[in-house]
Amino acid sequence: VGISLEMHAPVPGIERTPHSILSLGRIAPSKNIHVLIEALGILKTEHVECTASIYGSTLPENKAYEARLRSRVAEIGLGERVSFYPGVPNEQSPNVYSAHEIFVNISPQGMFDKTMLEAAACECIVVTANKDAAEYLDPSLIVQPSVEPHDIAQKLSLALTIEGERKDAILSHEHALVSYHSRTHLIERLAEEMKCTPQ
C-alpha cells in the first residue's frame, strides 16, 4: 500500500481521549457507518463507557445518507457520545488518530482501506472486518463478514478493555502489518521486481 511511516506515527503532545473510538473516511453506505451507529447504541444500552468520532466528507449523492445517520444518532440518544467532523487532509490525520484509542473500519471485504494501516501506525487498536489483515491482528477484534451490530459492539467492548501486556502485543502485531505495507518496503519490492524483469 505504501504508508509513510515518517508521517504516520503517534504525535508527541497529543493525549488519547480515554474510551474513544474513531471512524475516519468518506461517509457512504459502503462504509457501513449506519451499522457502527447501531453498535454504538448497543454499547449505550449495555452501559459501556465510550465516545465516538466520525470524520469524513460526503459526496452530494450521499448527503441524504449522512442526514439519516445524524437523525439516527439523535433518535437513539447518542448525541453526547457521537460527534461528526468534516474530513481532514492526509497530513493532519495523524493528529486525529493519535487522539483516539480505537479505530474501527467495517468496510466490506475487498476494500483494503489504507486508513486502517495509518491508524495502526499511530498506535490505535484496530477493529476491522478486513480479513486480509487477520494474520497480523488479534482474532478477537476481527468483525464477521455479516457485519452485524451486536458483533461489532462485542468487538468494540472488548477493545475498550485491552491494556497492559496484551495491548503491547496487539500493537506489536499491528506494527508488523504496517511495516509490510510501508513505503520503504514497497520501494524495496518494486526495485527487486524491476531487477528481475527481462530487458
Q: For 104-159, write each residue's pLDDT tens digit.
A: 999 876 556 788 888 988 999 999 988 777 767 788 899 998 999 999 999 999 99
What does the pLDDT average to over 19-35? 95
Whether residue 199 is predicted with pLDDT greater than 70 in this model: the reply is no
Return the closest-CA partner of residue 151 out of 127, 175, 135: 127
Higher-confidence residue of 197 and 102: namely 102
For the chain, the first-to-last Cα distance in angstroms comes to 26
Q: Long-range contacts of range 127-130, CB-CB < 8 Å, 24 or more positions apart?
A: 127/102, 127/103, 127/152, 127/155, 127/156, 127/159, 128/104, 129/32, 129/105, 130/105
> What is the predicted pLDDT for the residue at 90?
87
pLDDT band at 194 (very low <50, low <70, confident <90, very high): low
Instruction: Give me the amino acid identity at 155.
Output: K
What does the pLDDT average to over 15-26? 96
What does the pLDDT average to over 61-73? 98
> What is the predicted pLDDT for the residue at 185?
43
Whether residue 198 is predicted with pLDDT greater than 50 in this model: the reply is no
Whether residue 190 is predicted with pLDDT greater than 90 in this model: the reply is no
The cell numbers describing 199, all together, are: 530487458
Q: Where are the alpha helices (DSSP H) in the chain?
A: 33-45, 63-75, 93-98, 114-121, 149-159, 164-180, 183-196
* Other beta carbons less than 10 A from residue 176's beta carbon: 12
Give percent of the chain above pLDDT 90: 63
